[in-house]
């Protein structure tokens, strides 16, 4: 396959399963996350692992170089504090980098939405993130999942 894929949030539950599936189908995958130890140990064919801190926007243009499709699986719920501000900041950095990239499609894992007066902080953060990604000008496919239940990833060693 010639289409190159970047999975942001590759070390999470969905990310790990997605990277395995893409690898099995022959896609060249750049799997990026803060903690990539588990992914590296899998040594999946066609998968390159890269540690990334999305709070460092200067690293994003190089990360997006040569990428056709970006899977955006990042969320800030585990950040503590004002995770809405965190998600807004990170999504803004990614939006700005996308504007300068050759990425042709963004797949964003979001959540169900509700009217503004009924939104939890999580739903609001997901809505803001989707809006910012769409501002990049790159087509965005937003997958709105209700709840995702899965085993937590094992602790990094």
pTM of the predicted protein model: 0.86
Is residue 105 in a domain? yes
Confirm whether 150 is domain-assigned: no
For residue 155, pLDDT over 60 is answered with no
CATH code, 59: 3.40.50.720
Burial degree of 96 (CB within 10 A; 0-12, 13-18, 19+): middle
Residue 86 lies in a domain: yes
Q: Please check whether residue 21 lies inside any domain of the structure.
A: yes
Per-residue pLDDT tens digits for 8-33: 999 988 999 999 999 999 999 999 99
- Mean pLDDT in the chain? 86
What is each CA distance from 45 to 29, 94, 106, 134, in whole angstroms?
9, 27, 23, 32
Q: What is the pLDDT of residue 157?
A: 39
Segments forming the whole domain that contains residue 88: 5-145
**Nearest of 103, 122, 121, 123 to residue 113 by alpha carbon:** 123
Total of domains in the chain: 1
List all residues 6 or more positions away from 10 whose beta carbon is below 8 Å from its beta carbon.
16, 18, 19, 31, 32, 33, 36, 39, 49, 73
Sign, CA dihedral 35-70-148-47, equals negative
For the residues 72-93, what does the mean pLDDT come to? 80
**Residue 155 placed within a domain:** no
Confidence at 3, pLDDT banded by 50, 70, 90: confident
The alpha carbon dihedral of 79, 85, 89, 94 has a sign of positive
């Amino acid at each position: 396959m010639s289409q190159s894929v970047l999975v942001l949030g590759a070390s999470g539950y969905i990310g790990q399963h997605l990277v395995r599936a893409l690898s099995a189908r022959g896609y060249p995958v750049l799997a990026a996350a803060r903690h990539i130890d588990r992914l590296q140990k899998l040594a999946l064919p066609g998968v390159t692992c890269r540690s990334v801190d999305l709070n460092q926007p200067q690293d994003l243009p190089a990360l997006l170089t040569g990428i056709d499709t970006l899977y955006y699986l990042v969320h800030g719920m585990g950040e503590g504090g004002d995770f809405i501000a965190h998600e807004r900041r990170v999504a803004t950095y990614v939006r700005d980098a996308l504007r300068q990239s050759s990425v042709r499609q963004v797949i964003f894992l979001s959540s169900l939405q509700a009217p503004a007066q009924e939104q939890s902080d999580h739903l609001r953060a997901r809505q803001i993130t989707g809006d910012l990604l769409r501002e990049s000008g790159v087509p965005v496919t937003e997958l709105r999942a209700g709840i995702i239940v899965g085993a937590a990833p094992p602790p990094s060693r």
